[in-house]
Structure 1
Amino acid sequence: MAERGWRARAVDLALVVAAALAVTLALDVLDLPSPSLFGGLVAGLVRGLAGRRGLAVPRPATTAAQGLIGVSIGALVDLDTLGAITRDWLPVLLVTVGTLLLSVLAGLLMRLQPGVSPVTGAFAMVAGGASGITAMARELGADDRMVAVLQYLRVLLIVVLMPVAAAALFGAEPGSGGPTVADAGPGWPAGLLFAAVCLAAGAPLARLLRIPVPTLLGPMLVAAGLDLGGLSGGADVPAPLETAAFLVIGLVVGLNFDRDGLRTVGRALPLALAVILGLVAACAGLGAVLAATTGASALDAYLATTPGGLYAVLATAQDGGADATFVLAVQVLRLFVMLLSAPLLARWLRHTGE
């Protein structure tokens, strides 16, 4: 009987994964952000609501997915990128801290919605690092279902509105940046070795140093260290592994949905939409401050402070003739500040508000 039950669960999980892959392909065709995470979320949500028995992703798969997302984020760091903000480091740092404070304020506003805890509200509104925040949300005491939906609602709005705002308000000229040549890196074998080293060393090192969420932040910091030390050779997580990691995190969140959870998220959407639009506008204000205190153009500063949608932001910067290196540097700095601050933020909110 036990073996039969194990086989039934394995078949059930395999069918959900197949459905997630199908949704991922459809969303990829539509050019939506993070299609594999959304694919896993949708497939998991449908199974979570329709299934009579609960279904969970095996813990080792979840741990590996968190680690791979950490490695992928850590690999964004390099000396050339960070060198772009060396001269203006103080204004950039102040704007980054300002974004964190705006995220906390937005999260406190979300507390007006019944059923939203301080930690959940703050994590749902953290401006940047949507995939990392979603992956660590449950471990830090937030409702990962609410966090995932609201984080990617913000990303979707930014992807839609940002190119229009960049052209209409900040003078971006689509096509003026010319074609860009992507750096293919050293290939997937080196990327696989890079990811394996970061995973093997990251979590144990983070536990030794008592860093919170060691399965994500440990590999992230090791990957960043290897990049900054010139030891990575430009390697990155192979695309299929990165896709699988996002899909697993989406499944983990989706499978936890039930009807009550779905109703809670649905009731929060009107307030969340208003708060997100306010956050986007406030971050544009920080962009104006950044432009006034540095040599960055209004377009560069706006794109650098846009709260999320990193790859869409870079594509707009490259296509619109902005300084993509400066934009990436500010975005990556903010990404690291948000993710490394998240455990401290969660602890403080639990202590003061719960």
Structure 2
Amino acid sequence: MSGRQAGAWLGLLAASAVGTAILEWIGLSAGLLLGPMLAVIGCLIAGTLDVGAFSRVMAEWPLFLGVTAVTLGASSLLGYLLSRWQVLPGSTAIWGSMPGAASAMVVMADAFGADARLVAFMTYTRVVSVAAVASILAAALGAHHGGDWLVTMLAPAPLIPSLATLSVAGIGALIGLKLRIPAGALLVPMAAGITLHALGMLRMTLPEPVLAVSYALVGWRIGLAFTRETLAVAGRALPRVLLATFTLIGFSAALSLVLSKVTGIDPVSAYLAVSPGGLDSVAIIATSVPVDQPFVMAMQALRFLAVLALGPTLARAAAGRFAKSTAEESPSPTRPAGE
């Protein structure tokens, strides 16, 4: 191991130790594990957004806002119908139908009272389905494949940018948890990272092992919370969730054809731009095929930010409407059901 590699790992261990000590000192035992992991994922998402994406949105804002509204509306409608048909309880189906980075949607849903386990089930079912369709498309276009995953995992990361990114993650998570902001451990570092990255003040860089551990721990936390009852609910809901997923994929494919015809952009770029998969997974696929990456990432970024801003309101409104309609259909407790 070179001196630079050793320094990067020692810096990471030191940052982890300091973050752990701070979180223990203020008594955030739950945040000890999950907070830093979510902060790392938030920084990863921030790193996919640059000033080029935001410039593209500003230059063609009517197109971007229109497509975002249509895709978000279609997703919300499917989520509402799944709730209305009692496929999944409460606002769970609303959150599970939201297009955005999967981990972010799960964390947001948990913070706003939905069942994070079932939201994760819905979200990752959609991500896997979308990724499979997009990967088949990429393979058909002769996309190049990445190198040896172990080589990628062990490749050294730049020391200073890595430490700076981890500092943003740690400090942001601490602020978010301390201020009790819903999903603050994710959103505060992500907001800070987006700002710094877009302004060119910091190149968001994270060692691959840190990302792998972060995703693994978040996934374990969600997976280990499943019970027999939760698995039974997920199993019963799977056919209709798959139907909703492929309905949304089909809608997105049709929308991409319209978008391609109207704007002249190639169909693959249009499909990836409106694809209902996660921002992070689409970013990975977009780097392996010859597409208009700034357009794809700009569209995905705007939709992701729109979901962050509007998701809680849409979920509460749909859940409230569902609860009201359920109450109206139920017989009055003071009268016989036949009256």
For normalisation by structure 1, the TM-score amounts to 0.72
2:141 to 173, 184, 193: 173
Query: Is 1:200 the equivalent of 2:171?
Result: yes
Q: Distance in 1 between matches of 2:78 and 2:284?
A: 27
Map of 2:32 onto structure 1: 60
1:131 to 103, 107, 117: 103
1:241: Cα distance to partner?
2.0
Specify the structure having the higher radius of gyration (Cα): 2
Would the alpha carbon gap of residues 312 and 140 (structure 1) be closer, same or farther in structure 2, given more than 3 Å must change?
Answer: closer
Residue deviations 1:260-299, cap 9 Å, x none?
1110010000000000000111112222232233242222
Would the alpha carbon gap of residues 218 and 185 (structure 1) be closer, same or farther in structure 2, given more than 3 Å must change?
Answer: farther
Q: Distance in 2 between matches of 1:185 and 1:99?
A: 39
Deviates more, 1:329-338 or 1:143-152: 329-338
SS of residue paired to 2:91: helix
Map of 1:39 onto structure 2: none
Map of 2:121 onto structure 1: 149
SS of residue paired to 2:59: coil
Map of 1:222 onto structure 2: 192
Counterpart of 1:278 in structure 2: which amino acid?
T
Would the alpha carbon gap of residues 256 and 235 (structure 1) be closer, same or farther in structure 2, given more than 3 Å must change?
Answer: same
Map of 1:98 onto structure 2: 70
Query: What number of residue pairs does the alignment pair up?
Result: 289
Map of 2:83 onto structure 1: 111
Would the alpha carbon gap of residues 353 and 113 (structure 1) be closer, same or farther in structure 2, given more than 3 Å must change?
Answer: closer
SS of residue paired to 2:92: helix
Would the alpha carbon gap of residues 93 and 207 (structure 1) be closer, same or farther in structure 2, given more than 3 Å must change?
Answer: farther
Q: Distance in 2 between matches of 1:195 and 1:288?
A: 41
Q: Is the Cα–Cα contact under 8 Å of residues 273 and 300 in structure 2 kept in the other structure?
A: yes
Counterpart of 1:332 in structure 2: which amino acid?
A
Query: Is 1:88 the equivalent of 2:91?
Result: no
For normalisation by structure 2, the TM-score amounts to 0.75
1:258: Cα distance to partner?
0.9
Query: Is 1:258 the equivalent of 2:265?
Result: no
SS of residue paired to 1:137: helix
Percent identity, please. 31
Query: Is 1:70 the equivalent of 2:42?
Result: yes
Consecutive unaligned residues of structure 1, counting only runs of 5 or more, are 1-56
1:226: Cα distance to partner?
0.7
Q: Distance in 2 between matches of 1:211 and 1:285?
A: 38
Q: Distance in 2 between matches of 1:132 and 1:163?
A: 22
Q: Distance in 1 between matches of 2:226 and 2:59?
A: 47
Q: Distance in 2 between matches of 1:287 and 1:185?
A: 38
Query: Is 1:337 the equivalent of 2:309?
Result: no
1:250: Cα distance to partner?
0.9
Residue deviations 1:167-206, cap 9 Å, x none?
7xxxx732599x9xx9x99714422322323431465379
Would the alpha carbon gap of residues 89 and 107 (structure 1) be closer, same or farther in structure 2, given more than 3 Å must change?
Answer: same
1:161: Cα distance to partner?
1.6
SS of residue paired to 2:64: helix
Q: Distance in 2 between matches of 1:301 and 1:340?
A: 24
Q: Is the Cα–Cα contact under 8 Å of residues 43 and 204 in structure 2 kept in the other structure?
A: no
